[in-house]
Structure 1
Amino acid sequence: MSKRHASKHKIDRRLGENIWGRPKSSVNRRSYGPGQHGQRRKSKVSDFGIQLRAKQKLKGYYGDVTEKQFKRTYQEAASMKGDTGQNLIGLLEQRLDMVVYRAKFAPTVFSARQIVSHGHIFVNGVKCNIASRRVRPGDVISLGKKAKEMALIAEALTLPEREVPDYVAQDGTDKVTFVRVPTLDEVPYPVKMEPNLVVEFYSR
């Protein structure tokens, strides 16, 4: 499991957007970047800078995955038939930690990854602790016995700021089925994501 060394709220502030739509995000209080130079007037951003920012935003949203892992996912998306940007989103949404997050089993993407790595998640009845595992349509994701009693998960299920999307079908409060690979329009991002710019970044 990749380790996040910086505060997740610094990702928000660096990008200047509340990318997870969380009410506790520091962007809601301070829209400028972190550090002593955070309030400097922003200069004009180049095309490369715009593409880089789009990549950082998408990578950050999915739990700030490592560059190596993210690029490998892009390369897989590029080798598939169809639109590379749509393929990239589909592959990222198939990650087990993201399905756990979408199912509202965890309040944040980071806690979803932790819940998986600690062995609290089952896929088709088999325990799985690999957060980046690819979930297939028809797979059933459920909570382990101990997880059902965790306060963190109980809190996540009651969060008002997001809903379970249509491509994740609920079966009670402790089990969901991954119905299909979503398109970009179906993914409930709180901010605008531009996978086409990510494709341009890697295609340079």
Structure 2
Amino acid sequence: MTVKKYKSASFVLIQFFLFIGIFWNSYGQTQTNKYDIVLAGFTIGSMQADKTTTAKGVDYQIHSKVEFWFFGKIHVEFLQKAHYENGQLMRATTNSDSNRGDFLTTVTWNKDHYDVDANSYKFHNEEPINQIIKASTAMLYFHEPKDGDVLISENFGMLTKVREIEKGVYEIDVNGNMNRFHYEGGVLQKVILENNIKNYSIKLKVD
């Protein structure tokens, strides 16, 4: 009788831990990095970057909000998502809500190419991409790239190549604007983004 009870209890425990394992893997593990958005020495907004790993793949999400005055109040909210399966980008979406309008960009894997429908202020792109994509700008908030890496700008649906300009500092051309990513010990510390009006930066928050 004691042996049967022991086996029964062991079976219940095994089932419990299996359930917990399945639940944990399906729910996913999320890594979060938070940043301040800085213009001319003033913090004008915030950004949160999330990386969630599940049994189905890896999801990246970048969410930022910015408000400042420039001949009137400027408001921009930006949400960028990228989903990967087996190391390949399967779909990406970018939503932006601003004083200049609301814009949506989608990049979707379709059998042997990516369908692109990119929209932003005074910009539209529907040129398909005929190669597999393994990296995108959202990944840069969690992974230090290598010189020569090719990635996609989810917002513009365009490929760009990473150029290392010094140790831990990488430059990419995003639709004619040069953006620099600064890493220390493999962790992204700062991004300097080129802008037609004035360059601004994204700086890692330190608790």
Please tell me the TM-score bracket, short chain as reference: under 0.3
Query: Does 1 or 2 have the higher relative contact order (CA < 8 Å, sep 6+)?
Result: 1
Higher strand share: 2
Greater Rg by CA: 2
Higher helix share: 1
| TM-score relative to the length of structure 1 | 0.22
| TM-score relative to the length of structure 2 | 0.22
